[in-house]
Structure 1
């Protein structure tokens, strides 16, 4: 188990690269185009990649625990967005304004047309793909939540050891 914690930044980097890679493969290979919440879930992974790379370049002896704690925040952020997205998919609450086109404010036919044309192509409440009843947002919630806990524990353990 000590091996995992000593290489936690590498694990965080590989996991974030794998998550983003999976999202891009789903989009560009399998034509599963993302909604706006899907896109929001990608940004924290990019931050984790940057943080873990900087942590690896700076070196393990100069506070890798702090970098791991920052990775935990990034993973927790994407897990939270994923959890919100699952709620939107399940109809537990409504999504953001970017999730659906709001045509209630249109005064003229031209404004209505402009609002329809600017509406998202993919709605946030449509589940594009699921496995065992769990959507991609649900899997992101599970994976990122697990990685957040792992990074948090590894960061705390690293800080205590130094």
Structure 2
């Protein structure tokens, strides 16, 4: 495969991840947390960079796209740690609201958001019986796709980078 083909495939696979996440919301009724939403942005950046890499036949841009995918993997790794209770989330919006013990019902109702946020430590398991959360699936996917993109960028194509 050529650099252009590799980059086009990375663009397609990068865009597929956030699209699949949106589909899980719409068709499976899964609510995203703040860290879930953060994991999507590097994929969109990777897709755009990979499209540029394909147009310019640039292995350097392909490597940059692979790096962007790995950023999503790093956020996913952080998210898995939050889900497992290894560390707290760095985002304030990831915590369930805490109004204290002495709060009245009125105080509790005022503290609730119009649309409740899903806490980041509440793992979402899309496949019944399989104890792998969406964040863990994204971690594996991002590591694989990022490594593949970096490998292709470093190796180039058999026909040469200009093919």
Gaps of 5+ in 2: none
Q: 1:100 aligns with which of 95, 101, 116?
A: 95
Partners of 1:55 and 1:111 lie apart in 2 by 53
Deviation at 1:48, TM superposition (A): 0.8
**What TM-score do you get using the length of structure 1 for normalisation?**
0.81
**Structure 1 position 125 matched with structure 2 position 116:** no
Length, aligned pairs only: 154
Match for residue 70 of structure 1?
64
Match of 1:88 among 69, 74, 82: 82
- Post-superposition offset of 1:121: 1.8
The structure where helix makes up a greater share of residues is 1
Structure 1 stretches of 5 or more lacking a match? none
Question: CA 1:111–1:66 in structure 2 vs 1: closer, same or farther (change >3 Å)?
Answer: farther
Distance 1:114 1:6 in 2: 54
Runs of 4+ that moved beyond 3 A? 101-105, 108-116
Aligned to 1:31, which of 29, 32, 46? 29
Question: Secondary structure of 1:123's match?
Answer: coil
Cα distance per residue 1:21-47 (max 9 Å; x no partner):
111100111111100000000000110
Q: Which residue of 1 aligns with 2:54?
A: 56
